[in-house]
Structure 1
Amino acid sequence: MTARRGRILLVVTLSAVLLAALAFTLRPAGRHAPVEAGTAVGVTPPAATSGGPSVIVPGRPGEPVVARPADEVRVTGSPHYNSLDVWFVRMMIPHHQQALQMAQLAPDRAASPGIKAIADRIRGAQAPEIGMMRGWLSARGLSAEVPDHDHGTMRGMQSPEALRRLAAARGADFDRLFVRMMTEHHQGAVTMATDLLGVGADQQLNEFANSVATEQAVEIDRMRALL
Structure 2
Amino acid sequence: MSRQRTVALVAAAVAVLGAGGAALAARSGDDRSAAAPRATVSSGPPQRVVLPGRPGDPATVTDSDKVRAPDGSTYNAVDTAFVQMMIVHHGQAVEMAKLAPERAADTRLRALAQRIGAAQTPEITWMQGWLRDRRQPASDPAHDHRTMPGMQSDADLGALAGLRGADFDRRFVAMMADHHRGAIKMAGDVLAGGTDQQLYEFANEMAVEQGSEIRRMQQLGIG
Q: TM-score range by the shorter chain?
A: 0.5 to 0.7
Matched, 1:201 2:195: yes
> Identity over aligned residues, as a percent?
56
1:150 Cα offset (Å): 2.0
Structure-2 separation of matches of 1:98 and 1:123: 10
Structure-2 separation of matches of 1:88 and 1:114: 31
Which of structures 1 and 2 has the larger relative contact order (alpha carbons within 8 angstroms, sep 6+)? 2
1:78 Cα offset (Å): 5.2
Structure-2 separation of matches of 1:173 and 1:143: 40
SS of the residue aligned with 1:198? helix
TM-score, length of structure 2 as denominator length: 0.66
Structure-2 separation of matches of 1:210 and 1:104: 25
> Structure 1 stretches (4+) deviating beyond 6 angstroms?
none
TM-score, length of structure 1 as denominator length: 0.65
1:140 counterpart (134, 143, 168): 134
8 Å CA contact retained: 2:85, 2:139: no
Structure-1 separation of matches of 2:197 and 2:119: 20
Deviation readout 1:79-130 (Å, 9 max, x if unpaired):
2101100000001000000000100000000000111011101111000000
8 Å CA contact retained: 2:187, 2:207: yes
Which residue does 2:162 correspond to in 1?
Answer: 168
Letter in 1 for 2:197: Q
Stretches of structure 2 that go unaligned for 5 or more consecutive residues are 1-65, 69-73
1:191 counterpart (185, 193, 208): 185
Give aligned pairs, total.
Answer: 151
Deviation readout 1:18-41 (Å, 9 max, x if unpaired):
xxxxxxxxxxxxxxxxxxxxxxxx
Structure-1 separation of matches of 2:192 and 2:144: 24
Larger Cα Rg: Structure 1 or Structure 2? 1
Matched, 1:96 2:96: no
Letter in 1 for 2:144: D
